[in-house]
Amino acid sequence: MATRVLRTIKSPFTLSSLSHKRCRGNTLFCTSARPRDAANQKHLRAEPRADAQRFSHKRERPCCRVQCARAPAPGRTRAAPAATAGVRCSFPDLSDHGMSKEASGSDKGNPDRTGSGLLSRVANAAINCKPLFALMTAGARRMMKSTAEERGVAWSANVQELSQSEVSRIKEEIEDKSMIYPDYYAKPFHGYDSGNLNWQAAFEAEPATEVVALWVWKDEQLTPEQAHARMRAGTSSAIQGFMAWHGLSQPSEIIDVGCSVGMSTRWLAKGFPGAQVTGLDMSPYFLAVAELRERQLAGGAGQRPRIKYMHANMEATGLPDASFDLVSVQYVTHECPGHVIDSLVRECRRLLRPGGTLAVVDTNPQKDLRLRSVSPVLFTLAKSTEPNIDDYYRYDIEACLRSHGLQHVNTAELNPRQCITLGHV
């Protein structure tokens, strides 16, 4: 399969498919992914192949600033290059952040110890034992809280502040009492017996997110605020770059599906200050915290439109067709069974206007250092908080987006642990 190399403004990396790229110096070669069967509703992830002969090295130009483009297969029309161009991305260069050679160059499709491996099956058996599960989830939460306090995250202070606030009254205002929760959503996860449907999970969501950001750059001396800002800014840059490359208009209406306590939503509002942003979540507890923060910020203080929050099922939002120019789904898919991811993407596609963009951000299945390098005990603790992680690691998000009509679907690394998959209508 042929490849092309085009000149463009230098960028730390490009929006090519993770499983179909090779980097040499400042030159990135890529080929289009093999067509997948749209009838495969599970969209199981194919193992990436390391057949280097598929890549042409005769045209390698290590000193040039490049952008990769897909060469058309026989009988197919050429697709536009699916990567940022004319935009300098602000993401950190992976080589600057302690990525191990194994993690940064691995050709494994899924992290070790997931799926049907022996340790994974043993961990699953332990998780299915209720007394052991209770001990493991409590241990996992203690481990995260301990890490938080050591790294300067104000975990206890945040919980105390929220517990003394007006969130209970806000929840009554924002909650849809007729909401019927899907079975998977009401099950224990993230170390909470009722998942996201409780105050403890809502009060601890902000510090827990800061811990996750610190883990991304665990070898750097960053404050929680610096790590979180870097993580979110990378997402905004990726979306902006994708839109610029494909000539898409700036969004006027955005929805953040699975917005949690509004941290990702506020960053979207900051990145697109002219847009009306809506945050949607299935947890009224999380939404109450999000709305409280918006009130504390005086609705953007005139710097942006006020964020609107709504309580609805993300698989069936009840919103009109073609309502948004950008649909964002951040750190949601790893919490969902495979069939729910498919339903979620279908609903997101329905909400998009012509020219609209879908952005799905989550853990990078090929570079999740948390499950690749930890001890079996810590692995089991981590897995006990993520009951659908095996489904997520086997799921092909790109194939799912394509099957629902998204164009120029590509995945990019945001940082050493997370990635973004983008497509547009």
Coil, helix or strand at residue 329: strand
Residue-wise pLDDT tens for the chain (425 aa)?
443 333 333 333 344 333 333 333 332 223 333 334 443 445 655 444 333 332 233 333 333 322 333 333 333 333 333 333 333 333 333 223 222 223 333 333 555 445 556 666 666 666 566 676 666 666 677 777 888 888 899 999 999 999 999 999 999 999 999 999 999 998 888 778 889 999 999 999 999 999 999 989 989 999 999 999 999 999 999 999 999 999 999 999 999 999 999 999 999 999 999 999 999 999 999 999 999 999 999 988 888 999 999 999 999 999 999 999 999 999 999 999 999 999 999 999 999 999 999 999 999 987 754 545 555 555 555 666 777 888 898 899 999 999 999 999 999 999 999 999 999 99
Q: Which fold has domain 118-424?
A: Rossmann fold (3.40.50)
pTM: 0.72
Q: Is 303 exposed, middle or buried (0-12, 13-18, 19+ CB in 10 A)?
A: exposed
Instruction: Show the tokens assigned to 355.
Output: 């020219």
Residue type, 37: D
Q: Nearest 5°: CA angle at 406, between 324 and 400?
A: 115
Ranges of beta strands (E only) in 33-83 are 66-70
**How do strand 407-413 and strand 308-311 relate by DSSP bridges?**
unpaired
How remote is the C-alpha of 236 from its chain's centroid?
12
Going from the C-alpha of 206 to that of each of 141, 162, 170, 262, the distances in angstroms are: 14, 11, 18, 9
276 pairs with which residues across the strands? Answer: 253
